[in-house]
Structure 1
Amino acid sequence: MDEHTISFVGTSATDFATECGITMHNFCPMNYHTWELVPEDAKTLMSEKLEVSWKIRVIANKYNFYGVCECSTHAQWKRTRGKWSEHWKKNGGKTNPQLARSKRKFDCPIQEWNHLCDYWELEKTKKYSDKMEANRAKQVISRRGSRSIANHTFQMINPETQIPPSPLEVYHKLHFNATKQGWLNENSRIEYENIIEHKQAALDELNSKGITITTTMEHQLEKEAIKSVCGRKKTIQSAWEVGVGPVLRKKDSWMKSVAESSQRDSSENESLRSSYCTRGETETG
Structure 2
Amino acid sequence: MYEKLEGKFALLRTDAVFMEYVNSRLHVQWKRTRGIWSQHWKQNGGKTNPQLERTKRKSDCRSQEWNHLCDSQKKLSDKMEANRAKQVNNSRGGSRSIANHTFQMINPETQMPPSPLEVYHKLHFNAAKQGWLNENSHIEYENIIQHKQAALDELNSKGTTITTAMEHQLEKEAIKSVCGRKKTIQSAWEVGVGPVLRKKDCWMKSIAESSQRDSSENESLRNKLIALEAKQK
TM-score, normalization: structure 2?
0.51
Match of 2:116 in 1: 167
In the TM superposition, residue 190 of structure 1 has moved relative to its aligned partner by 1.2
Q: Of the candidates 179, 187, 208, which is equivalent to residue 230 of structure 1?
A: 179
Q: Which residue does 2:57 correspond to in 1?
A: 104
Matching residue of 1:92? 50
Supply the AA of the counterpart residue of 1:225: A
* Residue 90 (structure 1) shift: 4.8
Tell me, in whole angstroms, the C-alpha distance in 1 between the residues paired with 2:109 and 2:61. Answer: 46
Is residue 198 of structure 1 aligned with residue 147 of structure 2?
yes
Distance 1:180 1:116, change over 3 A: closer
The separation in 2 between residues aligned to 1:151 and 1:248, in whole angstroms, is 8
CA gap of 1:105–1:158, structure 2 versus 1, over 3 A, is closer
Given the alignment, which residue of 126, 131, 134 partners 1:185? 134
Displacement after TM superposition at 1:166 (Å):
1.0
* CA deviation map 1:9-39 (0-9, x unaligned): xxxxxxxxxxxxxxxxx99xxxxxxxxxxx8
Separation of aligned partners in 1, 2:100 and 2:180:
23
Which amino acid in the other structure matches residue 186 of structure 1?
E
Distance in 1 separating the partners of 2:85 and 2:59: 29
Identity %: 71
Candidates 4, 16, 25, aligned match of 1:45: 25
Partner of 2:66: 113
Judged with a 3 Å threshold, the aligned counterparts in structure 2 of structure 1 residues 76 and 184 are, in CA distance, closer, same or farther, namely same
Cα separation, partners in 2 of 1:253 and 1:165, compared to 1, 3 Å: closer
The aligned residue for residue 35 of structure 2 is 79
Greater relative CO, 1 or 2 (CA 8 Å, sep 6+)? 1
- Give the secondary structure class of the aligned counterpart of 2:50: coil
Q: Which residue of 1 aligns with 2:13?
A: none
Q: Which runs of 5+ in 1 are unaligned?
A: 1-25, 28-38, 48-69, 94-98, 256-285
Give ranges in structure 2 of 5+ residues lacking alignment: 6-18, 203-233
CA deviation digits over 1:29-83, x for unaligned, max 9? Answer: xxxxxxxxxx843454369xxxxxxxxxxxxxxxxxxxxxx6xx78746634644
Q: 1:157 to 1:116 in 2, by over 3 A?
A: closer
Larger Rg: 2
Describe the shift of the 1:246–1:148 C-alpha distance in structure 2 as closer, same or farther (beyond 3 A): closer
